[in-house]
Every structure is written in structure tokens, then in C-alpha cells.
Amino acid sequence: MRVAMYYNNNDVRVEDMPVPVIGPNELLVKVWSSGICGSDVLEWYRLPKAPLVLGHEIAGEIVETGDTVNGWKKGDRVFVSHHVPCNMCRYCISGHHSTCDTLAATTFDPGGFAEFLRVPAINVTNGTYRLPDTMLYDEGVFIEPLACVIRGQEHAGWQPGRRVLVIGAGIAGLMHIQMARISGASRIIAVDIAESRLNTAIKLGADIAITASENLPQQVMEHNEGRLAELVIISTGAPSAIAQGMRSVDRGGTILFFAPSDPGAKVEIPFNELWRKEITTTSSYAGSPRDILAAIELIASGRVNVKDMITHILPLSRTADGFRLVAEARESMKVIVRPQE
């Protein structure tokens, strides 16, 4: 089969690899759509493991089932989660599935930028979900990132009526905007450095879109009746954006740190100010099985619009172009690779 092998952001090659052989408790899935995630182009994270086949936002079709697999059959349309929790440890039981040791140790073989992938037994049991008949494969690639967003807003203690500031209007930021809108936000302000992303933010539910600058708190107040934001979602790892976000939260408000920063990056915390103003800070990583189920329902129902976030659909042979588009982050939103084309 053909795969897109990642060496670095500027070197992604189409190579041949044997189709994986499945065991008795496993599945073989034909990958129809695979999204390029922003984390796929974080070279500090990916290069130590390169070369490898990336791709974890996938939707596909079961083409072979192991002898002892129950509940699945050839032809079933599925989303498969690459990292899965055990659902039994103290972290899972307490609701922190994304900190489970099993989650960090699991994945599928070899990755979503391949014509086929093998789904290990634990992923079959804990991470394979049926796609609704009305959901397109291209829409299915949004299940994983939307699940992460759902989990993040739950961690932030969502309350209807909040005034929300979303810093970073990439895919995650745009989904945060949509989730805030359907969950009852009274005002949503989007911030980014790219005008095209700000335009999309307005289209998908933001009330105000402003270009990032050093006086962000003042800009927020100008567009928010003299108040700062009750919930600040920082959907970028840029230290300057993180610093601005901490200055843009209202008294008694909440800050959600949603994106990683570069290793070694440091941000000064205005500790006394956060303490005196009773600011809650939280973070989230990945999504739980419950979040994945919610994401499937929200996409299938059309409550979350994913179609308007797709800017590029490419065949496997152009995966390298897709990686360049995502790494440059200028003219693309969601880039989808179709491995069968």
C-alpha cells in the first residue's frame, strides 16, 4: 500500500509499505479521509520519532475483521481513535481519561496517511465508533478535534451567558467558537493574526473579530461594554498570546489553556493579580469516549458546522503540499488527505 512518510515538515514522501496483517481481535480499515492536525507539524515533537506515518484524524471503512471480533463487519463505516484509555484506572474512573497511562501507550498501525491501517484489539474495544449514515468521511475527520474542544469547555466549567474571548482562530479556535455559541455564550470575541481566519470566525459564530495586538485587553473592553472576558480560551501556544490572555480575563473569570507551547517556553504569571481577582486557570488535553460520542452527534446533526472549515482536499500524492499549507498557517484551515485518491 502507499503511505505518506513524514521526515520533516518540508519532506513528506509517498512510499510503499506492506498492508498490515491483523490478528484475531483486530480490524483492517481502509482510510478514506485523514485530516492534518496542527500537532502534526510541531517539529520539536515529531522529528525525534521520524520517519513515521502520521495522521490521527481519520474516517474509513472496515475491510477485514479478525476471527474473534464481534459487533463489527466488513463495510462498516467508522471513526477510530488512535489513543484510547483503559476506562478502569484511577484516572479514568475520576474522569481524567486523557491522563491514563494506556492512552499514552496506544495508537493504530501505521497512521492515517496510509491506504489501510490496523486497529489493535484495545482500539477496537475502546476506540472504534460507527459513523452515522448521513456523515461524510470528510466530516468524520473532525470528530477527534471536536471531542478535544468539548472536553476543554467542560473543564472550564461552562456556564451559559458568559462573554467569551477565543485567542487563536485555527480549527480548534473555530470549534471553540461554535461550541460557545450553541452552549449559550452571550458574546464571543475572536482574536487572530490572519484576516482570513477572522472572517471565518465571524461566519461561524463570533460576534467580534479583532487582530491580535499588544493592547488586547483594551480592545476587548472596547468591544465588551468596558468589561474583560469571563472565559478566555487560549487556543495557541505563542507565549505572547498566553500573556495577553491572562491580562484579558475579568474578575472571577476562567482561563482555559488549550494548546501546547514550544519546549522550554516560559510565560510570566501575574500571580498576585490572578489570586486577587479569583481567576480560575485550567487546561485540557485530548478527549474522552464520552466527548467523542458527543462530537459525533453534534457533527451529524449539523449543530457544529465543519464543512465550512475545509479549505483543501488533496490526494495522498500531495500530502507534502498539505503539510506545507498547515505549517505555513496562512491560506488554509482544515486540510484533508484522501489516501484512496
Tell me the H-state helices in 4-74: 43-46
Q: Is residue 208 helix, strand or coil?
A: strand
State the pLDDT confidence band at 83, using cuts at 50, 70 and 90.
Answer: very high
Mean pLDDT of 127-131: 98
Q: Of how many residues is the chain composed?
A: 341
Q: Measured in whole angstroms, how far is the alpha carbon of residue 324 from the centre of its chain?
A: 18
The pLDDT confidence band at residue 222, using thresholds 50, 70 and 90, is: very high
How far is residue 29 from each of residues 58, 65, 134, 221, 232, measured CA to CA in Å?
10, 9, 19, 50, 39
Query: Cis (ω within 30 of 0) for the bond into 110?
Result: yes
pLDDT tens for each residue of 266-314: 899 999 999 999 999 999 999 999 999 999 999 999 999 999 999 999 9
Predicted confidence (pLDDT) at residue 331 exceeds the cutoff of 90: no
Q: Is the pLDDT of residue 264 over 90?
A: no
Nearest to 333 by CA among 194, 210, 208: 194
DSSP string, 63-132: EEE-TT--S--TT-EEEE-SS---S-SHHHHTT-GGG-HHHHH---BS-SSBSEEEE-HHHHHHHEEEPP
Summary mean pLDDT of the chain:
96
pLDDT digits (tens, 9 = 90+) for 162-182: 999 999 999 999 999 999 999
Residue 219 is classified by DSSP as H
Task: Count Cβ atoms below 10 Å from residue 324 Cβ, excluding itself.
Answer: 16
- What pLDDT does 193 receive? 93
Using CA atoms, how far apart are residues 274 and 101, in angstroms rounded to an integer? 32
Q: What percent of the chain has pLDDT over 70?
A: 100
Q: How confident is the model at residue 88 (pLDDT cuts 50, 70, 90)?
A: very high
Can you tell me the mean pLDDT for 76-84? 98
Q: What is the pLDDT of residues 207-218, one digit of tens each?
A: 999 999 889 999
The pTM (predicted TM-score) of the whole model is 0.96
Interacting residues of 45 by C-beta distance below 8 A, sequence separation 6+: 39, 260
